[in-house]
Chains A and B, each alone.
Chain A
Amino acid sequence: MSYSETIRKIYLDQIDQIKNAGIFKEERFIHSSQAADIEVEFPAGSSLKKVINMCANNYLGLSSHPDVVNAAHEGLDTRGYGMSSVRFICGTQDIHRELENRMTQFLGTEDTILFPSCMDANAGVFEAVLSDQDVMISDRLVHASIIDGIRLCSAMHDTFKHSNMEHLENKLQLHADKRFKMVITDGVFSMDGDTAKLDEMAGLCDKYGAMLFVDDSHATGFIGKTGRGTHEKCGVLGNVDIITTTFGKALGGASGGCVSGRKELVEMCRQKARPYLFSNTIAPVVVSGVLKVLEILSESTERRDKLENNTKHWRKGLTEAGFVLKEGNTPIVPVMLFNAKLSQNFSKDLYNEGIYAIGFFFPVVPNGQARIRTQISAGHDIHHLDKALEAFVKIGKKYGILGLTKQEIIEKYGL
């Protein structure tokens, strides 16, 4: 037997180390569809508990929308279940190209290519369009999938301090001799919920002849007046050279992602991006669902407007109750607790009160910045938010942190 007891023990020790470090991840089994109200089995084997979901990326509440589900059924009936091929052999249907065209239109770009996920889009795009004559300059808080894509690319890599435009400009000057310079950022940062200064970044890219790359996964569908994304909010529609985004969050939440942007860059991905070349693309059933989502979004801004109002209501309630929040105006609302243990206990108590929200701590966020990350959805009604707020206040009182400043919470609980 090749998998010896010695090998097993090495892995068991590593798993123990993860547990001892307090970063062991456990899944909670949801027995219902994704929505504001869900039924959860946790811990495994326990009876089902009805809770309000405050931690899904279901920003527009479309994950289980009946029209999306029906469209998916129709896609299944008319285009089948799977393609059993990569795109360029015999894995491209008319609806794949239709979705690419619809995304191009929606994002205001020149062309789009689908990927199995946005993780794959980010893993493949840099290597496809840059070489060792070039430099990638990324914000220090970009998503892990971008870091992986950067590691796979032979271009030089440098970073700038989070959202620090002066530092970015220094870096553009430092690397002025490179053939291509690509500035890389998230549109909305997933842990803090803040928005990239795309207007200033686009200006700097113009000044120094650099390309601009934005991962807008936490923005597409709801940020900006008509939900086009961070580039719409910042008034730079048409000025971002590459946008990557996901269908796994606001746009139905199933799976899949894309690279959208300059025609030639998209074509290079079609020719060279390895996750596109060597993996099946998005299943027809999912493509059909996303097409319906885009139709819903183009008919009305009702859902993103409701999300905006829900977010304001939630932020106002938490602020008035005396919690310390990360500043911002996106549906990602981090409630800052600073101490890792406190964030775990807080999350556990919330769950007992029927509120599902997760505590994040180092290494997912910087040391001493533990928090409960709440995410608001258009699927929430005001009564959901008010019930959640009631629970937050009850537990906030239990730990005596309401009205305390960051410093006072740290003094009370340590880092």
Chain B
Amino acid sequence: MEEIKDVVLNYVIEEYLEEDDEEITYDTPLISGGIVDSFSMVSLKRFLENKYSISIPDEKATPEAFDSVNKIVTLVREFAG
């Protein structure tokens, strides 16, 4: 599943970071760190669902579950079976 990690990391960089922003790692806090606002979580969720043909229930799509690339990978694994 190493590949998912990089797919998610690249998506977050492309989607949320601006040119001047500092680099992020697999463990950088995304929501609590102010990189991804709670509004913008929706596109991340939709991206993951489309990319991996999964459905993440709203109650599982919490700010905590989306707070780092590693946490997101755990979430995807749970629903990718």
Residues of chain A touching chain B, judged by Cβ–Cβ distance below 8 Å, are 150, 156-159, 161, 171, 174-175
Contact = CB atoms under 8 A, between A and B. Distances in A.
A174 B46 contact: yes
User: At the interface, is chain B mostly helix, strand, loop or mixed?
Assistant: helix
Contacts of A174: 43, 46-47, 50
Interface in B45-68: 46-47, 50
A127 to B, nearest CB: 16
Contacts of B47: 174
Given A156-B42, A158-B39, A161-B18, 15 more contacts: A150-B39, A157-B39, A158-B40, A158-B42, A158-B43, A158-B46, A159-B37, A159-B39, A159-B40, A159-B43, A171-B43, A174-B43, A174-B46, A174-B50, A175-B46
Nearest to B37: A159
Nearest to B44: A158
A157 B38 CA distance: 10
20 contacts: A150-B39, A156-B42, A157-B39, A157-B42, A158-B39, A158-B40, A158-B42, A158-B43, A158-B46, A159-B37, A159-B39, A159-B40, A159-B43, A161-B18, A171-B43, A174-B43, A174-B46, A174-B47, A174-B50, A175-B46
A171 B46 CA distance: 10
Considering residues B42, B43, B47, which has the most beta carbons from chain A within 10 angstroms of its beta carbon? B43
A174 B44 CA distance: 10
Contacts of B37: 159
A183 to B, nearest CB: 14
A407 to B, nearest CB: 12
Contacts of B46: 158, 174-175
Contacts of A161: 18
Nearest to B18: A161
A89 B59 CA distance: 42
A171 B40 CA distance: 11
A161 B42 CA distance: 15
A174 B40 CA distance: 13
A191 to B, nearest CB: 15
Contacts of A171: 43
Contacts of A159: 37, 39-40, 43
A159 B18 CA distance: 14
A285 B44 CA distance: 49
Contacts of A158: 39-40, 42-43, 46
Nearest to A160: B43
Nearest to B17: A161
A158 B47 CA distance: 12
Nearest to A167: B15
A159 B47 CA distance: 14
A71 B18 CA distance: 49
Contacts of B18: 161
A213 to B, nearest CB: 16
Interface string B6-44: 000000000000100000000000000000010110110
A158 B38 CA distance: 10
Contacts of B42: 156-158
B31 to A, nearest CB: 14
A99 to B, nearest CB: 34
A347 B6 CA distance: 46
B72 to A, nearest CB: 17
Nearest to B34: A367
A152 to B, nearest CB: 13
Nearest to A136: B39
Nearest to A138: B39
A157 B44 CA distance: 12
A157 B43 CA distance: 9
Contacts of A156: 42
Most-contacted residue by chain A among B37, B46, B50 (CB, 10 A): B46
B18 to A, nearest CB: 7
B61 to A, nearest CB: 12
B8 to A, nearest CB: 16
